[in-house]
C-alpha cells in the first residue's frame, strides 16, 4: 500500500520526525481558513501516487494565500500520469542550507533491508546514482540484529557536516528506522531531507507499507480505501479479489497469478488488449466466481470476457455454477469464452453447454475466439 | 530419487488439524508420502488419519525421526512455525502459506541460511518427486515419472505445464514450486544446481514471472555451467509498479520486467517458450538430442 505524501508525513510526526507545517485541502476555497499559514512563503503540492509531480506542474511555490488559492485550483483540476489530483498539501516553504537523500527499503535481491544516504538530495535517486554513484552510501541491515550505531556512524561519515548537525542526522536515521520497523514499511524515503537552522526536516515523504502486514495494523485500515485510485479496484479489494485494471477491452478471469498473467500475455500475443488482471485464488467457490464476473462487467470498456480455470482444488463444476449464476443475475450481453479443465471438468463443461456457453479446450484457441467475437 | 525428497523422507505436517492441513494430509498420504507426525499447538495427543499430533516440533522430533516438514499455518503465526521447525533441526521445510509479512520472511530466511536448512516457499504449492512423494498441494494425478525437472514461481501455471508434459508422454523427475513472494527461502539457481547433479533429470523447465532477479541469476548459472533449460516467463503484459496477484510479481523502479528475464535467459542458451504447447515441444527437442549434446550446446 503506497501512502500519499500527507499520510506519510502524519505518520512521521508520530515518530518525531520533523515535517513542514501544512494543511490538506480537497478544494481551493478551504485554504483561506488556514490562518497560521498566512504571510509565509508557501508550497502547494499535488497528492498523487506517482513521481514527476514537479515536472508536471503539480508542485508550486507561492508568496501568499491568494496565490496558493489560485495554484490549488489549477492543480486540483490536473491529471498527472493518468491520476486525477483530488487533494493538495499546502505547506510553509522552507529555507534550507542542505538537501540530503535518506531512505530505508527492502532489497529483495539481498533479502534484507538497507539504508541509503546521499549528500545530493532533491533529485530522482536514479539520477543521483547515475551522476555520482559514490555519493550514495548503502548499508545492509542485519536481519536479526537490526541497524547498529556503528552503521549510522559509517553512513554519516563521508558527509561534511558540523558536529551538532551530525548528531541531528543520526537521530533522524534512528527515528526513521524505528518508523520503518514499526509500520512494516517496505520503503520509507525522504527526498529531500533538508537542513533548516540545525533541524532536519522531511520536505517530502514516500512510504510503502507491506500489504501482507495490514492484518496487524488496524490503525492503517482506514487508509486503504483512500489509497485505492481506481473505484473498480477498490470494489474488487473489498470483495477479496486480486484485481488490476488495465486499458483494454477483453476482461480476464483465472485462478493463479502466474496463470492469469500468462493468459494476459496470450491475449496480447494474439492481437487483443486485456482489460484487467483478476485472480480468483485457490479453491474458489461459485460465489467468488460470480463476484469476479460482476466486477469485470462493471468496467464499461469490457466487450468480452475470457475465463481460464485449472481445477486442482478449485472445482470446474463450482466455477461453471458461478458463471451461470452471474449470467442469469446480471444481464450479460457480451461474449464469454471459457477454458475449463481439471477436477470436475466434464460436469462443468456440461453445465456450461446447457447454458449456451461453449467451453474451449485450449487457451490460444480461446484467446483467438474471444478476440474474434469482440471484433465483430 | 528426487532432488529434495523421496519415498523414504519422513514428513511432519505443521498445522495438521486445520482445514487445509487435514485435507492435504489425506491427499499426501494417498500419494504415498511418509507422513509420520503432525504439530498443532494445543492439540497434542490427538491424531489425524492415524498420524499422531504433537504440541511442539521438539516433542514430535523426540518421539520420531523427522526429515522434512510441510507447513499449513496461517500468516500471523507462520514465521514462528518455520523458525520452530528449522531451529529444532528439521533440514527441509516447505511453506504453503500465502500472506506472510515480508519483515517476518527477512528474519526467517536468515534462520534458514544459518541452520543450513532448505526452505521452499512461502506461498508455494510444495514439491513432488514423481511416483514417490509429495509435500504440499499439487494435484497428484498430473504427474508421471520421467526425466524432466520443473521449477516454478507459480502454482496453477505449473500444473498446466506438467499436465501437458504428461499428456505428451514426457514424465517428470522432481517438480518444485519456490513460491510467489518477494523473499523466498530457495532460489531458481539453487534448484538448477540440484537438478544438474541429479542423474534422473535431463532437462529442466523453469517457470518464472515478473519481479526480482531470480531468473537473471539463474541465467548466469546456466551460462556458466550449461544445463538444458526451457523457460516460460509470465507477465510480458504486466504494467510497471502493480502487484499482479503474487506479492513478488511486481516491476519496481523499471526492474524485474519479463522482457529483461527473457533476454537474459535466452542469451544464456535457454529455450524460451510463449505457450504451454511450445514448452512441451521444446522439452521434446531437448530430450531427443542426447543430454550430453544438449549440455555442450548450452555451454557454448
Residue B27 lies in a domain: yes
Put simply, the answer to whether A143 touches B109 (Cβ < 8 Å) is yes
A111/B106 touch (CB, cutoff 8 Å), yes or no: yes
Bond preceding residue A192 cis, omega within 30 of 0: yes
For B72, list phi and psi in degrees, rounded to 5.
Answer: -120, 70
Q: Looking at the predicted structure, is the pLDDT value of residue A282 above 90?
A: no
Chain A positions in Cβ-Cβ contact with residue B260 (cut-off 8 Å) = none
The answer to whether residue B167 neighbours chain A at the CB level (below 8 Å) is no
Q: Give the per-residue pLDDT at A355.
A: 86
Query: What's the confidence (pLDDT) of residue A39?
Result: 62
pTM greater than 0.90: yes
Q: Is the pLDDT of residue A111 over 60?
A: yes
A313: nearest CA partner in chain B? B139
- For residues B176 and B112, membership in a common domain is answered with no
Please give the average per-residue pLDDT across A286-303, as a whole number. Answer: 93
Same domain, B145 and B278: yes
Do B83 and B171 fall into the same domain? no
Grid cell of A78 as nine digits: 490536473
The answer to whether the beta carbons of residues B104 and B88 sit under 8 Å apart is no
Q: Is residue B1 part of a domain?
A: no
Residues B172 and B81 in one domain: no
B286: its cell numbers: 531437448
Q: Are residues B152 and B222 in the same domain?
A: yes
Whether B221 and B281 share a structural domain: yes
Cβ separation B156–A363 shorter than 8 A? no
A181 to B103: CB separation less than 8 angstroms, yes or no: yes
pLDDT tens for A342-371 read 888 899 999 998 887 879 989 999 999 999
What is the least distance, in Å, from the CA of B68 to any CA of chain A? Answer: 24
Question: Rounded CA gap, B246 and A211, in Å?
Answer: 11
**Residue B288, domain CATH:** 3.40.50.261
How far away is chain B from the Cα of A203, in angstroms, using its nearest Cα?
A: 22
**What residues of chain B lie within 8 A of the CB of A210, using their CB?**
101-103
Residue B292 Cα, gap to closest chain A Cα (Å): 32
B155-176: average pLDDT: 97
Are the beta carbons of B275 and A266 separated by less than 8 Å? Answer: yes
What tens digit of pLDDT does each residue of A201-215 get?
A: 999 999 999 999 999
Q: Check CB contact under 8 Å for A256 and B253.
A: no
Q: How confident is the model at residue B290 (pLDDT cuts 50, 70, 90)?
A: low
Mutate to test the interface with A, among B245, B252, B258 (most CBs of A within 10 A): B245
In a domain, B81, yes or no: yes
Q: Is residue B127 part of a domain?
A: no
Eight-state DSSP code of residue B211: S
pLDDT, tens digit, 9 for 90 and up, residues A304-316: 999 999 987 788 9
B277 inside 8 A of chain A by CB: yes
Number of neighbouring beta carbons within 10 Å of residue B10:
15
Residue bearing the bigger pLDDT, A332 or A184? A184
The DSSP annotation for A222-258 comes to HHHHHT--SHHHHHHHHTT-EEEE-SSSEEEEESSHH
Q: How many CB pairs below 8 A link A and B? A: 148
Query: The domain containing residue B263 runs over which residues?
Result: 139-299
**Which of A258, A313, A343 has the CB atom closest to B234's CB atom?**
A258
Is A101 among the residues known to form the active site?
yes
Residues B83 and B147 in one domain: no
Residues in chain A with CB shorter than 8 Å from the CB of B76 are 215-216
Cβ-defined contact of B159 to A246 (cutoff 8 Å) = no
Separation of alpha carbons A211 and A10, rounded Å: 19
The CATH number linked to B80 is 3.40.50.720
B244/chain A closest Cα distance in angstroms: 7
Residues paired with residue A276 on neighbouring β-strands, in sequence order: A245
Contact B207, B125 (CB under 8 A): no
**Residue B298 above 80 pLDDT?**
no
**Segment A315-340 mean pLDDT:** 89
Domains located in chain A, CATH noted: 21-92 (3.30.1490.20), 98-221 (3.30.470.20), 231-375 (3.40.50.261)
Is the pLDDT confidence value at B169 over 80?
A: yes
Together in a domain, B191 and B51 = no
What does the angle CA B230 – CA B236 – CA B237 come to, to the nearest 5 degrees?
A: 155
Find, in chain B, the residue whose alpha carbon is nearest to that of A275: B237
Contact A144 B110 (CB under 8 A): yes
Pairing of strands B68-71, B92-95: parallel
Stretch B127-131: mean pLDDT, rounded?
A: 98
Q: Is B77 on the interface with A (CB under 8 A)?
A: no
B chain contacts of residue A109, beta-carbon cutoff 8 Å: 212-213
Q: Do A258 and B156 touch (CB under 8 A)?
A: yes
Number of domains in chain B: 2
Residues near B244 by beta carbon (within 8 Å), at least 6 away in sequence = A242, A244, A257, A260, A261, A277, B209, B210, B235, B238, B250
Let me know whether B218 and B157 are in one domain.
yes
Beta-bridged to residue B273, according to DSSP, are B232
Residues of B15-45 as b/e, b for ≥16 C-beta within 10 angstroms? bbbbebbbebbebbbebebbbbbbbbbebee
Instruction: Tell me whether residue B132 is in a domain.
Output: no
Is B106's CB within 8 Å of A259's CB? no
Q: Collect all residues of chain B within an 8 Å Cβ-Cβ radius of residue A266.
A: 274-275
Domain endpoint, select from B86, B120, B154: B120
pLDDT over 70 at B300, yes or no? no
Indicate which residue of A189, A270, A318, A345 is catalytic: A189
Residues B108 and B162 in one domain: no
Q: Out of B57, B91, B120, pick the residue that ends a domain.
A: B120
Averaged pLDDT for residues B105-112 = 98
Which among A93, A86, A51 is positioned nearest to A72, based on CA atoms? A86
The catalytic position among B24, B190, B225, B246 is B246
Asked if B237's CB is within 8 angstroms of A268's CB, the reply is yes
Cα torsion B94, B99, B105, B106: sign: positive
pLDDT tens digits, one per residue of A223-271: 887 888 888 999 898 888 999 999 999 999 999 999 999 999 999 999 9
Decide if B134 is inside a domain. Answer: no
Q: What is the pLDDT of residues B182-194, one digit of tens each?
A: 999 999 999 999 9
Strand pairing category for B172-177 and B145-152: parallel
Q: How far apart are CA A183 and CA A188, in angstroms?
A: 10
Q: Bridge partners of B287?
A: none
Residue B219 lies in a domain: yes
Name residues 169-188 of chain B within 8 A of A (Cβ).
180, 182-183
* Nearest-CA distance B110 → chain A (Å): 7
Rounded distance, CA A289 to CA A295, Å? Answer: 10
Phi and psi torsions of B59, nearest 5°? -60, -45
Residue B185 in any domain: the answer is: yes
Chain B (34-63) residues lying within 8 Å, Cβ to Cβ, of chain A:
none
- Same domain for B207 and B150: yes
Considering only CB atoms, which chain B residues are within 8 Å of A112? 106, 110
Euclidean distance between the first and the last CA atom of chain B, given in angstroms as a whole number: 29
Q: Are B124 and B151 in contact (CB under 8 A)?
A: no
To the nearest 10 degrees (0 to 180), the angle between helices B258-267 and B214-225 is 0
Please check whether residues B262 and B197 belong to one and the same domain.
yes
Amino acid at each position: 500500500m503506497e501512502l500519499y505524501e500527507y499520510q506519510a508525513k502524519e505518520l512521521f510526526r508520530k515518530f518525531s520526525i520533523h515535517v513542514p507545517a501544512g494543511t490538506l485541502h480537497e478544494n481551493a476555497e478551504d485554504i483561506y481558513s488556514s490562518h497560521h499559514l498566512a504571510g509565509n512563503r508557501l508550497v502547494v503540492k499535488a497528492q498523487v501516487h506517482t513521481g514527476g509531480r514537479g515536472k508536471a506542474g503539480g508542485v508550486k511555490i507561492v508568496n501568499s494565500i491568494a496565490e496558493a488559492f489560485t495554484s490549488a485550483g489549477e492543480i486540483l483540476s490536473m491529471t498527472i500520469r493518468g491520476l486525477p489530483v483530488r487533494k493538495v498539501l499546502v505547506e510553509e516553504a522552507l529555507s534550507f542550507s542542505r538537501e540530503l537523500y535518506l531512505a530505508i527499503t527492502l532489497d529483495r535481491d539481498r533479502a534484507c533491508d538497507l539504508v541509503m544516504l546521499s549528500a545530493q538530495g532533491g533529485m530522482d535517486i536514479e539520477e543521483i546514482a547515475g551522476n555520482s554513484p559514490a555519493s550514495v552510501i548503502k548499508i545492509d541491515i542485519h536481519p536479526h540484529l537490526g541497524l547498529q550505531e556503528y552503521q549510522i556512524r559509517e553512513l554519516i561519515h563521508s558527509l561534511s557536516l558540523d558536529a551538532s548537525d551530525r548528531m541531528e542526522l543520526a537521530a533522524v536515521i534512528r527515528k526513521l528506522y524505528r518508523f520503518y520497523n514499526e509500520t512494516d514499511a517496505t520503503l520509507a524515503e525522504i527526498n529531500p531531507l533538508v537542513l533548516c537552522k540545525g533541524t532536519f526536516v522531511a520536505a517530502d515523504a514516500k512510504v510503502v507499507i507491506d500489504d501482507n502486514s495490514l492484518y496487524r495494523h488496524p490503525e492503517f485500515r482506514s487508509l486503504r480505501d483512500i489509497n485505492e485510485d481506481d473505484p473498480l479496484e477498490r470494489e474488487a479489494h473489498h470483495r477479496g479479489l486480486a484485481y488490476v485494471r488495465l486499458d483494454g477491452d477483453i476482461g480476464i478471469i483465472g485462478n493463479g497469478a502466474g496463470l492469469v498473467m500468462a493468459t494476459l500475455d496470450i491475449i496480447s500475443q494474439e492481437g487483443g488488449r486485456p482489460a484487467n488482471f483478476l485472480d480468483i485464488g485457490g479453491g474458489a467457490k461459485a460465489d467468488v466466481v460470480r463476484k469476479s464476473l460482476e466486477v469485470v462487467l462493471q468496467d464499461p470498456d469490457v466487450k468480452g470476457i475470457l475465463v481460464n480455470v485449472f481445477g486442482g482444488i478449485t472445482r470446474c463444476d463450482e466455477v461453471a455454477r458461478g458463471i451461470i449464476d452471474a449470467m442469469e443475475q446480471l444481464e450479460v450481453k457480451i461474449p464469454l469464452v471459457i477454458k475449463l479443465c481439471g477436477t470436475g471438468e466434464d460436469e462443468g463443461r456440461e453445465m456450461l453447454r446447457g447454458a449456451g456457453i461453449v467451453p474451449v479446450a485450449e487457451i490460444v484457441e480461446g484467446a483467438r475466439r474471444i478476440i474474434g467475437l469482440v471484433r465483430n | 530419487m528426487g532432488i529434495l525428497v523421496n519415498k523414504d523422507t519422513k514428513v511432519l505436517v505443521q498445522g495438521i488439524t486445520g482445514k487445509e492441513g487435514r485435507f492435504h494430509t489425506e491427499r499426501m498420504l494417498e500419494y504415498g508420502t511418509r507422513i509420520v507426525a503432525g504439530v498443532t499447538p494445543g492439540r497434542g495427543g490427538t491424531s489425524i488419519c492415524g498420524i499422531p499430533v504433537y504440541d511442539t516440533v521438539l516433542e514430535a522430533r523426540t518421539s520420531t525421526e523427522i526429515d522434512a516438514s510441510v507447513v499449513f499455518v496461517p500468516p500471523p503465526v507462520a514465521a514462528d512455525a518455520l523458525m520452530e521447525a528449522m531451529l529444532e533441526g528439521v533440514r527441509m521445510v516447505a511453506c504453503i502459506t500465502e500472506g506472510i509479512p515480508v519483515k517476518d520472511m527477512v528474519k526467517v530466511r536468515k534462520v534458514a541460511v544459518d541452520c543450513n536448512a532448505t526452505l521452499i516457499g512461502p506461498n508455494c504449492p510444495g514439491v513432488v518427486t514423481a511416483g514417490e512423494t509429495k509435500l504440499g498441494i499439487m494435484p497428484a494425478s498430473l504427474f508421471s515419472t520421467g526425466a524432466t525437472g520443473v521449477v516454478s514461481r507459480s502454482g496453477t501455471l505449473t500444473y498446466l505445464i506438467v499436465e501437458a508434459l504428461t499428456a505428451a508422454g514426457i514424465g517428470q523427475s522432481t517438480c518444485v514450486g519456490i513460491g510467489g513472494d518477494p523473499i523466498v527461502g530457495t532460489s531458481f539457481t539453487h534448484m538448477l544446481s540440484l537438478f544438474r547433479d541429479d542423474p534422473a533429470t535431463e532437462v529442466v523447465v523453469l517457470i518464472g514471472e515478473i519481479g526480482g532477479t531470480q531468473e537473471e541469476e539463474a541465467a548466469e548459472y546456466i551460462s556458466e555451467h550449461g544445463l538444458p533449460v526451457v523457460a516460460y516467463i509470465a507477465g510480458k503484459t504486466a504494467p510497471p509498479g502493480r502487484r499482479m496477484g503474487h506479492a513478488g510479481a511486481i516491476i519496481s523502479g523499471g526492474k524485474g520486467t519479463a522482457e529483461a528475464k527473457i533476454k537474459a535467459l535466452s542469451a544464456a542458451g535457454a529455450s524460451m517458450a510463449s505457450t504451454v504447447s511450445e514448452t512441451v515441444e521444446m522439452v521434446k527437442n531437448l530430450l531427443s538430442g542426447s543430454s550430453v549434446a544438449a549440455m555442450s550446446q548450452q555451454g557454448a
